[in-house]
Amino acid sequence: MTINILFSASSESWEKYKQPLRTELDKLEIKCQLGPNFLPEVVDYIIYAPNSELAEFSPFIRCKAVLNLWAGVENITGNTTLNIPLARMVDYGLTQGMVEWVVGHVMRHHLGIDLQINSQDGIWRPHVPPLAEDRIITFLGLGVLGTSSGQALRQLGFKVRGWSRRKKSVDGITCYHGNDGLKYALSGADFVVLLLPNTPETENTLNRETLGLLKKGAVVINPGRGPLIEDEALLEALDSSQVGHATLDVFRIEPLPETHRFWSHPKITVTSHIAAATRPAYSAPVIVENIRRGENGESFLNLVDRQSGY
Ligand code: NAP
């Protein structure tokens, strides 16, 4: 029987994905119909992005899995009409994109690049930055993205710490876990990079108390999700110079409203949720591999644990 694959995301995404998906499906000789419109009762797989209008999954009675195009799944994990496996996106393009973004933004502050760019005024300033090994970088979240970014910075010589929910051991990274571990992970850190999922447990992980644990003047880098940081506490910490700068890619409301204080704050850099995009050429093979697995009765890759929310 021909399988039907519903593509449920924005119409612009469909234009970008239809060819890479078709190419991968043909490579694996998966006989199927692929498109943005099917009757729910004939759909076997849903390729999904949270910008789709689909919110009611009950009519998809023969569907075997929902394959999310994004790494973050907070918009769908709580959907009670979804009772089939949900896979999130893990692929080379996302990981490499995040590694490059995190390393770039850390190096900007580590080397004091802003000062150099803004001081081309004829005044000789022999300001030598410390070596990477003299800086501590803490990753909140030691999953696919936190681990890869942390290891890249470790390669450059930084002292890297990481914090996760469960106990972990990662080469080159000093690992902490659980509530107690958070204070050890943050104490005296020069940088904190947030790569946690957005769940009820992770909301406001950086707050007045935890921001106070960082080294004075530390840099906060958030490519994870907006709710991980208590906004007011961050603004206070910036104003008191407990935090020297915050580079934020994600926000409680996106796009970040034009009038939001973050845009004009001299110690905040806003980027527009671009740290790591899902790229069709890298994600299509992962989606299609999951369809192949579904058709062969094998377990799906990158399944979301609905209980823990990520
Ligand atoms: P992941 O592999 O699922 O890793 C999540 C990490 O967070 C794991 O180490 C997990 O601990 C930890 N964690 C979860 N809940 C926790 C808690 N309550 N306390 C302590 N640690 C907790 O996720 P990922 O692929 O690395 O992605 C991380 C996040 O990045 C995504 O959820 C998404 O929000 C964000 N993201 C942003 C962009 C962007 O463009 N800005 C792009 C992609 C992803 P365990 O290891 O113990 O499970």
The yes-or-no verdict on residue 2 having pLDDT over 90 is no
User: Among the atoms of ligand 1, which is closest to the Cα of residue 310?
Assistant: 3
Average pLDDT estimate for 106-110 = 98
- Tell me what pLDDT residue 83 has: 97
Q: Does residue 205 share a domain with residue 125?
A: yes
| pTM over the 0.85 mark | yes
Q: Please list every protein residue whose CB sits less than 6 Å from any atom of ligand 1.
A: 71-72, 90, 94, 141-146, 163-166, 168, 195-199, 201-202, 223-225, 249-250, 273, 275-276, 310
Ligand 1 geometric centre to CA of 22 (Å): 30
Domain count, the chain: 2
pLDDT (tens digit, 9 = 90+) per residue, 252-292?
Answer: 999 999 999 999 999 999 999 999 999 999 999 999 999 99
The size of the chain, in residues, is 310
Residue 308 domain-assigned (yes or no): no
Share of the chain above pLDDT 90, in %: 98
Q: Starting from the edge strand earliest in sequence, which strands make up the sheet with 32-35, in order? A: 32-35, 3-8, 45-48, 65-68, 86-87
Q: Does residue 32 share a domain with residue 142?
A: no
The yes-or-no verdict on residue 1 having pLDDT over 80 is no
Q: Which structural domain range is residue 82 located in? A: 3-91+278-295
Residue 34 domain-assigned (yes or no): yes
pLDDT (tens digit, 9 = 90+) per residue, 225-262?
Answer: 999 999 999 999 999 999 999 999 999 999 999 999 99
The protein residue whose alpha carbon is closest to atom 20 in ligand 1 is: 165
Ligand 1 geometric centre to CA of 21 (Å): 26
User: Long-range contacts of range 293-299, CB-CB < 8 Å, 24 or more positions apart?
Assistant: 294/44, 294/45, 294/64, 294/65, 295/3, 295/30
Q: Does residue 254 share a domain with residue 118?
A: yes
* 212 phi/psi in degrees, rounded to 5: -70, -15
Q: Does residue 181 share a domain with residue 54?
A: no
The yes-or-no verdict on residue 112 having pLDDT over 90 is yes
User: Among the atoms of ligand 1, which is closest to the Cα of residue 225?
Assistant: 34
The yes-or-no verdict on residue 208 having pLDDT over 90 is yes
Average pLDDT estimate for 29-36 = 97
Which is it for the CA torsion 9, 141, 209, 212, positive or negative? negative
Residue of 164, 192, 194, 206 to mutate, ligand 1, most atoms within 8 A of C-beta = 164
Ligand 1 geometric centre to CA of 198 (Å): 8
Ligand 1 geometric centre to CA of 178 (Å): 14
Residue 301 domain-assigned (yes or no): no
pLDDT (tens digit, 9 = 90+) per residue, 161-194?
Answer: 999 999 999 999 999 999 999 999 999 999 999 9
User: Among the atoms of ligand 1, which is closest to the Cα of residue 167?
Assistant: 47
- Tell me what pLDDT residue 190 has: 98
Structure tokens at 59: 């009519």
Catalytic residues: 225, 273
Q: Check which CATH number belongs to the domain holding 242 and give it.
A: 3.40.50.720
The yes-or-no verdict on residue 159 having pLDDT over 80 is yes
Computed over every residue of the chain, the mean pLDDT equals: 97
